[in-house]
Structure 1
Amino acid sequence: MPANSLFHRMAIASWIVLVLPLLACAQNSDAVSFTAYADAREVVQNSYLEVTFTLKNADGTNFSPPRFQDFKVLSGPSQGFQTTIVNGRMSKEITYSYRLQPQRKGTLTIGPASITVGGRTLQTQPLEIAVVEGASQPGNGSDEVYLKARLSPALDATRSVYLGQQLAVDYILYTRVDVQGLTAASESTYDGFFMREVHQYDNRVVREVVNGVQYVSRILKRVILYPQQTGPLTIDPLSIVAGVPLPGQRPSGFFSRPDMRRVPIASQPIRLNVKPLPLPQPAGFSNITGNFTLAAALARNTLTTDDALSLVLTFEGEGDLKRVQAPPLDFPADFEVYDPKVLEEDYIDVTAGSKGRKKFEYLLVPKKAGSYTLQPRVVVFNTDSMAYQTLTTVPLKVEIRQGNGEKKSGLIAGAPENQGLYPPRQTIRLATGGGGFFGTPVFWGLLLLPIIVTGSWLIYRQVQNSKPPVDPVLLQQQRARRAALARLQAAEKHRQAKESRAFYEEVERALLGYVSDKRQIDRANLTKANVLAQLQELGASDTETNQFMGLLRTCEMALYAGKDNADAMEATYTQAAAWLAEMEEATR
């Protein structure tokens, strides 16, 4: 195959490997959006803020910023691009950032920005920024960094929740200095709560004005709490130690670090009043508290009286999933209902908080044929409306046909034998074919294979150990003939190719190598002066010795005198092969 064709195919294969996963991820990408974000809703006059316009999951053209009336543009636009793939879902962002300085006090408006995507124009929502006058004296330094535990605005105002109601607590760091190190000291044990720590939240820096002083804030930690008992409960402070540079320092080098002072800070405790659910409770209340949606699904809607029906009930929303138990459902009397089981229980962290999903499976066995409508209803306490609510699914139509009386036990996966769903068999029949893997020839072959291999290896070792040890010297002498013949075969190829120099080199190596291997002498130590003595030690006759020396002189003359006669090469090859055969006969 030509090299360029191979390279072309490899390039195509590499393109497929790289691009197909991205195309698959692109199909799972989120919706297109164009939004505006300001890192401050309130700033001090003569301060600044940053505004970012973000286009998600699309490529845009003709970006047009707002007029920024009443603002001075300090820098921008700074454009950024980011692509992420999480759990097979790809998202990408294009950002346009500006740094703005307000020119007057009051409530200022940043108008919408626009961009063109796929032939249509997208616009952001306008932003309102409150510009206030700063404090004349920003403080004595004791408030340069502090920590605050914050609830949602509604809960922060009342400090009152219901039993099982979900609440989020954000621990926010406020600072006017460059904090370069944070160390956790202690945290609440959250007595009386079920606690979940959230790892996905918006931890971007936000500029806030507190008592006329401009701060930079960001969320350090977020927890989700579910009250498990009524009455007064307290969330103890979170304590940390912050590293703050000493004032008046100048960097002495690129790698230098300023001297730090350790500042212990702690949030204020949060005291809550946990109320029981209001009375009277409606009939059929499920003891589920939260803001949930309800959905139901059937594995199939057409079956016989010999089949079992699987109905999956799904709760999804905000609330304590541990308190969500399978509610009793009102099924028609023509169905035999078995205890439900939990299929799934997962929490999903989102930017605004946390959501959960829990699924239950109900197994139903129809007693007679007919058409039925299943519509589960569950009564819950909704923590948003602070009222009881009946959740209802869409109607599910089921058509039951008369069966033949033979229950199909395989329809209920994992059902215990003592569940009483189907009557036990009165007889046991042994399968005559296709009875599985055990007992088959393949089974016995695989079972005996390790034993056979181990036994064969032990027998081989025993036989080898019983043999007399091989003398390595004798072994090398026996290999001398094979090595010499191999070199002569190489010489013959050179002769046929009329390569005289290579031919005589191989003949010389064959002769000297033979004596060297037979006598266990290194080739470098074999000279003309001692080769005669080595031949006598091998038992060579005077004729054989003279033939050997004559062959060496022929090779020497050919290598140094340029002898390349074809007949001479053939005669040399014949003489060398004959001498080798005679020596093997003499040394036996």
Structure 2
Amino acid sequence: MKKIATIFFFLLAFSLAPYTSFADISVTLNLDRNEATLSDTVRMTISIKGSRESDLEPVIHGLESFDVMRCGTSSRFEFINGSLNSGVDYQYSIRPQKAGTFKIGPVELKIKGKTIRSGIKTLKIVERARTTGLYRGSLFLSAGVSPAKVYVEEQAVYTLKLYHLAKVKDLTLDLPDIEHLQFKQLGKPVQYQGVYNGTYYNILEVRYAITPLKEGIYEIRPSKLGLNVYESGQISPFDMFNDNFFDLSAGRPTTLTSEPLELNVIPIPHEGRPQDFSGLVGSFRINTRLEPSELKAGESATLTVTLSGRGNINRIPDINGPELENVKVYADQPVIKVAPDSPGPSGSKTMKWALVPEKEGRYRIKPVSISFFDTVGGKYRVIKTPALLLLVRPGGTGKVMPLTGDGKSEVKAGPAKKEIKELGHDILPVHTSIKDIVPEGRFKPGTLSFLLIFLGPCFVYLGVFTGTRYYKKKGGSKAFTKAKSASGIVAQRCKKAGISSSEMTHIIRDYINDRFGQSHGVPTPDEAAEIIRSNGAGADTVNELRAVLQTLEDAVYTGKGNKPCNMEKDIRDLIKRIEKESR
């Protein structure tokens, strides 16, 4: 019944397609982080909105210094505000070959002969993270601050990384409370995988902007992270509900602490400080526009000034509006936008004024200037807008009377009121018979065209329903045949000597998909282990499959995917045990 409802939904969607509007086609490039080490693998996602298919694979520029692995695709199909939207996501893993700062993108995509391009992302690759050379265990918390020396109100980035091999849940973070230092989270936590001291870890990273309010040398005390650790085989079967009521295995409570750090905050110099300096620190730019720049007296123009950049956005001062003779100026409420991204907060402040000239003429709007301390150059800078010209032509013959002291509205004296002239009727005629509203032509009730229009969808639905039942039976027999032959295919493929780690990974994942009726995706080691566990495999077999896939995946990610894995016999024995234990 659920499938029938799904089919009916898609029939309805496509029947309504003429009345819905597809969003503009666009392509977006995203990276799971902006900085990584030579040993890390970065997740790259290419999202296409407005189309679920393209003429060719996406062409990605800027990946000459990376090893690229395709991780699969996923489609989207959704209704948003009455519009039918579709899309597809391409997933990739990229591994750097050398250190440096790289521009990745744009992505070029051909859809129906039209080339669509994405934006460009910057990825900084550094040498391996400095480590102690000692094994820190399967679970630890690391902290870092960059830069370690800043000016007052210049923002530093405080980064916490949780390295873990086992599954963790119920995380609670306690940041250090330090006088004159303000912490603000930058974006959402990100998860990825990387290498530390030769060990492959799952990594959870979260970043905070630190804003120092006073100069001095600050000791950033260790952060504390409380969590529950679940070792292999300890996850409850009710874990999917993510509810403590069903959580029969509470895990092992653990508290981790990071290393202490030091932040050196130096004062902003007094030498060269402008008189109008408001405390703005960072890197900023200013833009202005006047729309329209030519109008009639009595009409309104809008002056917009936008100051944007990276730094202490909340310190951007309010700007006084222009003072122009014979022009009324009405200020709008300033709008501040702050975007906390991984390099640090960025944003803008937009100020608008409505200008209403009372008489014709040429009005010069003076430049607007703002001073700030440039932390990159270590000096004060003044930025200003260009002067603007407002050209006002004569307006109507009416005269704008000024407001009187009693607060009444402006009175506009003009020519005498014109005689009212009838332009047309706006009331529909009243029909006294049903015959008057019967449509003429081939779509009259009772005609063949009328029956096809109103009864056709019913026949289409019945046809699809019957076809679905048929293909369900046919598809079920195919799935049964594939499941029965899955282990035999593995045995045949494993007879070949010198199978590489990459090829062996595909052999095992093809077996999991065929044997247990999964879609032909790319299950992770944990997902594959969960699939065989839910089908009756024992704990030892589940753990062995997870370890084998993790070993093979490590080889692939570390550039050894094309080398022989020498695991053919072990894999055949493992598959036999899975067959014996599974339902």
Question: Structure 2-normalised TM-score?
Answer: 0.49
* Higher-helix-fraction structure: 1
Question: Structure 1-normalised TM-score?
Answer: 0.49
Structure with greater Cα Rg: 1
